[in-house]
A and B are shown apart, each in its own frame.
Chain A
């Protein structure tokens, strides 16, 4: 039977059936349209994000930390990439041979390696900070579940020598001490990131956009001079070993610019290997430890006396009989000197002479002088733990306190403060701010403290200290005129003076046109002499001689001058 003649066709179906079907199809289409509208219109953000996750990746672009260099461009600190090997313990199922090979490459014990891989954590570091070439060999083994990641490690080629100056960075390359901390903002780099498209094998096939360009940290040129730093370190270490001292510090400043050319503290540490680090090694003594400066303060007293016009260089001061009673306390000289001029008070380091000068000032005058020299307030170089020392308010000074402060007792300073204060004598009575970084245009003049005439007069007195008959003939430097002052002070422990000493020497050269200021402090010298003139002055002399030669400073004294042997004057304490 033909289809066309099928009786079914002639049968009339009810009209609602066709409509129902049509409606059914319409509803299905409406549903599809609605769904696609939902996907395209309302939910598209989420879906696109999910899609992008499958091919686009954001890569971190690490930035390197800036290098630290000395004033001549020698590298003192540099970051270099290292690799860290990490593992997903669940994936890292190694054959014994594979484990042995890995352990051999990483120079670690196989059992230790197995122990780490047996951990139930998701992520373990197998070994951190290994050289990149070793990491490449590890990658070549192609072990399952073993991965590497790039990190930076900072190296300090000068090691112990400039540890306190440079400081160090922590594991995440952030400065923790010294210049690394003080100049963190300049040195730190900012990591960037970019979006890329990766293929199935993980290879980058297209750069989509740069989200943030990485910014490498800036290099820093320090004021430090590598050669002078070495000289200072070697000389100080020798002296500390010879005098069995507990600790010591030395600071070298450029008198023309206020730049810090060297800073050494002992004991020190190796910043490349900080496994066993004690507090004593870490202390940046020149900035964080205060001591009573002793006689090194006397030149300031004399300068103020000259400045106020109350004394002239040759004004006689009676220091006999070698002791002086103020209120109910008595101060002493180490020996009776009789009548001394102001210049001789400095040369012989007479306590009584200094005290008598000090008692002619109003307390406020003396306080203002000491305060403007920077005593009592931190230098704010940015180092951690910088202290200001002790300078009590003048309102409640008793006369005996004012008298003892004139020769550096009852006041405490840091070595850096003391060195900086001596800039006023090395310059024309003005004080410069210190700089850790190299200055291209040094400030021409600082804050005036004393008149130029006073500064020159005190400078002449300080030259006498180093000459035969002064307290520090050992500070002499052949070929140059040197000026300086010794200090020997009892240490204060728990508020009382004890029989331990701090020997110091602060001086500058060449005296005709000072270029360098050097301050040396030796803590508790115990092998024989403990006087500043015997312990600290020779360090000064060696470092000064070497530094002046290294800088090529013109000699200002005929070298053939024969020294006359005269017994050095003993310094008062």
Chain B
């Protein structure tokens, strides 16, 4: 009888310890999850800022200015455009 009790006691202690362990691991994982979610948010923010930057650099006004002033480009005159018929 005493032996059964002893085994049960050990089992109970083991269960208790594993619960503590599981809880601890859950918390650690949670903190990690939290950190990754924070990273996700900050990456999203960065993406938004990069999109903003891209739109600013790729603005039509800027492109036209560079094309005209720096690269000396101009739209072709109508006579310079040759229309190629699509062959089927």
Give me the interface of A with B, judged by CB distance under 8 Å: 64, 67, 74-76, 78-81, 132, 155, 157-158, 161, 203-207, 226-227, 229-231, 234, 478-479, 546, 549, 554-555, 559-560
CB-based contact B81/A555 at 8 Å: yes
B49: interface (CB < 8 Å)? yes
- Of A64, A155, A205, A478, the residue contacting B52 (CB under 8 A) is A155
In the complex, A104→B59 CA distance in Å?
33
B32: interface (CB < 8 Å)? no
A214 to chain B, nearest CB (A): 11
In the complex, A559→B51 CA distance in Å?
40
Chain A residues within 8 Å of B55, by CB: 74-76, 157-158
- Of A75, A132, A227, the residue contacting B60 (CB under 8 A) is A227
CB-nearest residue of chain B relative to A74?
B55
Chain A residues within 8 Å of B31, by CB: 203, 205
Chain A residues within 8 Å of B51, by CB: 67, 75, 78
CB-based contact B30/A158 at 8 Å: no
A358 to chain B, nearest CB (A): 39
Chain A residues within 8 Å of B54, by CB: 75
What are 25 sample pairs from A and B whose C-beta atoms fall under 8 A apart? A74-B55, A74-B58, A75-B54, A78-B52, A79-B48, A80-B48, A155-B52, A157-B55, A158-B55, A158-B59, A205-B31, A206-B30, A230-B59, A234-B64, A478-B77, A478-B78, A478-B79, A479-B78, A479-B81, A546-B75, A554-B83, A555-B78, A555-B81, A555-B83, A559-B78
CB-based contact B61/A230 at 8 Å: yes
B38 to chain A, nearest CB (A): 11
B45: interface (CB < 8 Å)? yes
Dominant secondary structure of chain B at its interface with chain A? helix
B61 to chain A, nearest CB (A): 6
Chain A residues within 8 Å of B59, by CB: 157-158, 230
CB-based contact A157/B60 at 8 Å: no
B36: interface (CB < 8 Å)? no
In the complex, A470→B34 CA distance in Å?
71
**Mask of B37-81 contacts with A, CB within 8 angstroms, 1/0:** 000000011001101101110111100100000000001011101
Chain B residues within 8 Å of A226, by CB: 60
Dominant secondary structure of chain A at its interface with chain B? mixed
B25: interface (CB < 8 Å)? no
B72 to chain A, nearest CB (A): 19
Most buried by A among B48, B54, B83: B48
Chain A residues within 8 Å of B52, by CB: 75, 78, 80, 155, 157
CB-based contact A80/B45 at 8 Å: yes
Chain B residues within 8 Å of A555, by CB: 78, 81, 83
CB-based contact B49/A560 at 8 Å: no
CB-nearest residue of chain A relative to B82?
A559
B45 to chain A, nearest CB (A): 6
B66 to chain A, nearest CB (A): 14
Chain B residues within 8 Å of A231, by CB: 60
Chain A residues within 8 Å of B45, by CB: 80-81, 132
Q: If A75-B55, A157-B59, A161-B61 touch, does A204 touch B79 (CB 8 Å cutoff)? A: no
Q: If A75-B54, A80-B48 touch, does A560 touch B79 (CB 8 Å cutoff)? A: yes
In the complex, A559→B76 CA distance in Å?
12
10 shortest interchain CB distances as A-B pairs: A478-B78, A230-B60, A157-B55, A559-B78, A479-B78, A80-B48, A75-B55, A75-B51, A157-B56, A78-B48
